[in-house]
Structure 1
Amino acid sequence: MKPTGNDVAGLIARSSPAARRRDAETLTALMQEITGREPQTWGTIIGFGSCHYRYPTGTEGDSPLLGFAPRRAATTIYLFEGTDAHADDLARLGPHTTGVGCLYLSDLEQVDLTVLRGILEHSLAWAEAGGDEGAAVTVTG
């Protein structure tokens, strides 16, 4: 995956329903503050920074350090180190669902933003520290 250079504001404006647009604006500001990096599009993902990852299986690629996608059903937040690494925080977050490496939020106003900030800060720190035995991460931007 590579940055596509499309307009971030345009991607947010096209998001639906209205709650997804509102949440995308909030997450963009939050992730920009946490990372100190400008948002950029990676297809339909809004990402911050960039890195190269490699799993022990040999699978590798490029990805934002932090990123989310404002999907119709829910906003998807991508967590490199997986959701299990955040089990205690997720128990305090508020309404959400998870996949192996994805956190799904249907309404950001119903979650504890302080807890979410902690999850995002931990995820960024994990990636910037180079990952672990489950995935090697090299920051590239």
Structure 2
Amino acid sequence: MYELKTKQNDDSVIEFIEMIDSPRKREDAYHLLDIFTEVTGHPAKMWGSSIIGFGSYHYKYDSGHEGDAPLVGFSPRKAKFSLYFATGDPKREELLSNFGKHTSGKACVYINKLADIEVEVLKALIKRSMTFLRETYPDASN
């Protein structure tokens, strides 16, 4: 059976951020940490070795695959920041249209730096993602 690699753990979020080589990226990571903590009301937790997540929910797909994931999160990757929001939410694209300079994949939104985006739209994306996941998965953390 497949086992998820990205599980919540007790590794230190601060120690992880402190290991970021670039001073600007490290500063942006601390700002993102503050924004996500404020908006979600959840403490930051490490998920796997490189994702900082907030809250959690349990999902189960029609295929039978199931697991736990953070409601929202981010990862300060070497090239760009990966921001994790809910997939499948039709309102996500509308919000992203006013987000600023970014690219997006199925599950992630990628930004180079915090100065490239609209922070108020980021806050709206976080709130919307949490609302969508709580509606979709009633056992999601509040």
The reply to whether TM is greater than 0.5 is: yes
**Counterpart residue number, 2:40:** 35
Structure 1 residue 140, shift from structure 2 partner: 4.8
Residues of 1 paired with 2:37 and 2:106: CA distance? Answer: 24
Please state whether the residue corresponding to 1:37 is helix, strand or coil. Answer: coil
Normalising by structure 1, we get a TM-score of 0.87
Identity %: 33
> Quick check: 1:82–1:102 contact (8 Å CA) kept in 2?
no
Residues of 2 paired with 1:106 and 1:54: CA distance? Answer: 32
Give the RMSD, CA atoms, in angstroms. Answer: 1.8
> Quick check: 2:45–2:52 contact (8 Å CA) kept in 1?
yes
Structure with more contact order per residue of length (Cα contacts < 8 Å, sep ≥ 6): 1
Structure 1 residue 75, shift from structure 2 partner: 0.7
Residues of 2 paired with 1:137 and 1:12: CA distance? Answer: 32
**1:56 partner amino acid:** D
Normalising by structure 2, we get a TM-score of 0.86
Structure 1 residue 95, shift from structure 2 partner: 0.6
Instruction: Report the number of matched residues.
Output: 136
Please state whether the residue corresponding to 2:139 is helix, strand or coil. Answer: strand
Unaligned runs of 5+ in 1: none
From 18, 36, 54, the counterpart of 1:13: 18
